[in-house]
Amino acid sequence: MGMYNEIVMKHFMKPKNAGQMEDPDAVGSFGSPVCGDIMEISIKVKDGVITDAMFMTFGCGSAIASSSIATEMIKGKTLEEALRYTNDDFIAALGGLPAPKVHCSVLAEQAIRNAIYHYAQDHGLTLEGLAGYDPDEVDPHGELSND
């Protein structure tokens, strides 16, 4: 475990926002084309602001740490603000991930995007940050097979 820094370890050992949300406003998921692991993110939204976020992740420690930090970061943000986060922002907030584990953070970016997409669909919203988003796209970064 020496390759992981303290922030990553903290979010892995004691993840925030883990579990199933009761009565979410939207749910999104993403399965990694690299490892087959899956992350599900649930959100509650009020007046365009994400008031709560929770995750269920069938994945490695880095995916769990990414889920934890990402759900913390999107709480209190508008949908557009949350859409602007990329996996690099989550990695930065975690103080870095080892290179072979970068793809694990993509699960958080994509599961969040997918949840917001479902919310926008249900509410007839057009969000700038979803322009060009295709929920069926498997390899959003085109770089996921490098480990």
Q: What amino acid positions are annotated as catalytic residues?
A: 35, 104
Among 17, 62, 67, 114, binds ligand FES (CB under 6 A): 62
CA angle 17, 32, 96 (to 5 degrees): 60
d(C-alpha 13, C-alpha 87), whole Å: 20
Residues 108-147 that bind ligand FES (CB under 6 A): none
87 binds ligand FES (CB under 6 A): no
d(C-alpha 64, C-alpha 69), whole Å: 9
# chain residues binding ligand FES, by CB under 6 A: 9
Q: What DSSP designation does 142 have?
A: S
40 binds ligand FES (CB under 6 A): no
Nearest to 18 by CA among 51, 40, 46, 45: 40
Which among 55-63, 89-97, 121-129, 138-146 is the span making contact with ligand FES, rule CB under 6 A?
55-63
| Element spanning 97, H or E | none
| Interaction site with ligand FES (CB under 6 A) | 32, 35, 37, 59-60, 62-63, 104, 107
